[in-house]
Structure 1
């Protein structure tokens, strides 16, 4: 047993530019950073709550004292199974708050063993994947400009947000600005099933890699309808929240998009990746708009992925934390020169 001390703070993070998806525009991101200390090491994690999943910074702050009490009572950051079970037994839902605590526990556990997080999980750090860089909704000309900026910075995989009254013009501007890039599209539930099938026809003509969450999550039959008729592969995001969702989407998509802030932590994400594979799905790890205090932990799961969308901290005006090296999107865990998740104050 070890005497552990815990603390948390809310951080308001301005975005570099306003970020728009089909549901609205975001100018700042409220994250809640968690610290767990054992007197020698400090474990860091963060919550990036989403109202879409019923969480805000205020709800995270409301439940964190009880969740952190569980950690202090356990007294052993390596007792991850026990901590996970007691956290779920104490508080229902609230996955972003749980993720913050669990990320900090994993960070501290790996630091205690003097290994990077991917080694704590037994993963091959030399297996890499390239993260996409997201181009939010804007007028076509501005989306083209954002795309050229990303390409000039070296990004070769782009994710284009759609869900407007003129989606094709916006995608055309992105493709013109990035003729050689791999492009993915995310509609964030904006289309009806019939619209999605029609739209996927012209998406294919722009050589789109896949289309993410074309229809509302509340319409599983609609997702299956699109999947069975689509000209491009389909990824599920809002329809794929927790482990229990995977059997329900297994015959309705090609790719399962997992996020730590949806499923509740890194170990929970690993469970989802293995279950997705068992159901014949490809794996993707996404994020909210997050500080590297959260993104860094996600990056260590890269060896389990087919696709990554871990650009959340890149959309910030500045990030108070550094994380795993991701030059031009390449997630390189093996280049990490320190134990834990790699998150540290910038």
Structure 2
């Protein structure tokens, strides 16, 4: 079988500047991969590289020719395990680049069988949790306005970025605007262990569900300190990058947060979910700020999750790709009429 692969870089402006404790983002650079079979059926995938993990759009573009050559050499889009093994052998690092190729191949394989990817995996669409909608760091009144707008749009689960000297003020503003919403907090490594423990006390009083990555990933004992004393469940994100991290965080958190752009592929993501379950952890899947070229694939995993944070495309001013319907955060896999991941060009 002959496969033809191409890729292109796309720059997408955000609807609003997006700030976390590490900085502000105004646009997102993704790299889109397309892999076509002899009949012209095409699988689509996307890379959303993060400099925090050592990747940029430039590094993705640099390694994609070798990754795509490996796929073309295997030749069979249904040989998913062989392909992901070859991708990891060709490029040991660069997980976002490998993920883009993995998604495109999975999309093509499911399209060739005429089924949505979640059905190829035998999953129940009705088991998908709602995704949260993220409110980035901003001036307090602007956070209040963004929260009110999210509630007006129907979102019932909100993720609030913290990591400032105004954290309590920001949460109070969120609760004023969204008294009935389910609220989660993400500090993106901004707190010290003792600071994190203290903050969980009043965050619990504000009805927060859990706290994500309270301390730096480079401080595993600090994460354990928080976990053992926290008034709230703790999710590990920056501390949970690859499969080998799962055993290491099992006694330091309650929730493993995986992201496709960290895992290196869809099969590896499913392995991480299984490993987290085996270690007694709940599972969340998050995202970068991404096109539906990759978010649609992450949504296919939703029935395996306890929590979803898949709003990456929702934060864009314009996405060249359509994906899975997520009105008010509901991940409507059951409404998916298209085979594959459900991603397609918005003007198709």
Tell me which residue corresponds to 1:3: 2
> 2:26 matched to 1:37?
no
The alpha-carbon deviation at position 127 of structure 1 amounts to 1.4
Who is 1:84 aligned against? 84
- Mapping of 1:160-309 within 5 angstroms? 160-309=160-309
Inter-partner Cα distance in structure 2 for 1:158 and 1:267: 29
| Helix, strand or coil at the partner of 2:318 | coil
CA RMSD of aligned residues (A): 0.6
Q: How does 1:85-164 map to 2 (within 5 A)?
A: 85-164=85-164
For residues 209 and 155 of structure 2, what CA distance do their matches in structure 1 show?
16
- Cα deviation for residue 325 of structure 1 reads 1.1
The question of whether the paired residues in 1 share the 8 Å contact of 2:257 and 2:286 is answered with yes
Structure-1 separation of matches of 2:40 and 2:17: 40
Note the alpha carbon deviations across 1:57-82, whole angstroms, 9 max, x for none.
00000000000001111110000111
SS at 2:17 equivalent:
strand
Determine the structure 1 residue equivalent to 2:313: 313
TM-superposition CA deviations, 1:309-346 (whole Å, max 9, x none): 00000100011000011111011211100100000011
Deviation at residue 126 of structure 1 after TM alignment: 2.3
Structure 1: gaps of 5 or more residues: none
Q: Compute the displacement of 1:121 (Å).
A: 1.4
Partner of 1:18: 17
SS in 1 for 2:126: coil
What displacement does 1:152 show?
0.1
CA distance in 1, matches of 2:221, 2:100: 33
Q: Distance in 2 between matches of 1:171 and 1:95?
A: 34
Partner of 2:188: helix, strand, or coil?
A: coil
Q: Which whole-Å CA distance do the structure 2 matches of 1:178 and 1:266 have between them?
A: 35
Moved more, 209-218 or 37-46: 37-46
Q: How far apart, CA to CA, are the structure 2 residues paired with 1:164 and 1:301?
A: 33
Structure 1 match to 2:331: 331
What CA distance in whole angstroms lies between the structure 2 residues aligned with 1:88 and 1:265? 9
Once the two structures are superposed, residues 81-106 of structure 1 have per-residue CA deviations (whole angstroms, 9 ceiling, x without a partner) of: 11111111111110000000000000
Answer yes or no: is 1:52 the counterpart of 2:56.
no
Q: Could you give the per-residue CA deviations for residues 255-309 of structure 1, whole angstroms, max 9, x where no partner exists?
A: 0001000011221111111110110000000000000000000001011000000
Count residues in correspondence: 345
In structure 2, C-alpha distance between the alignment counterparts of 1:326 and 1:41, rounded to whole Å: 26
Structure 2 CA distance for aligned equivalents of residues 135 and 178 of structure 1:
12
8 A Cα contact 2:84 2:267, kept in partner: no
User: SS of the residue aligned with 2:125?
Assistant: coil
Structure 1 moving runs of 4+ over 3 Å: none
How far does residue 40 in structure 1 lie from its aligned partner after superposition?
2.9
**In 1, are the aligned partners of 2:128 and 2:304 still within 8 Å (CA)?**
no
8 Å contact from structure 2 (residues 241, 258) kept in 1 = yes
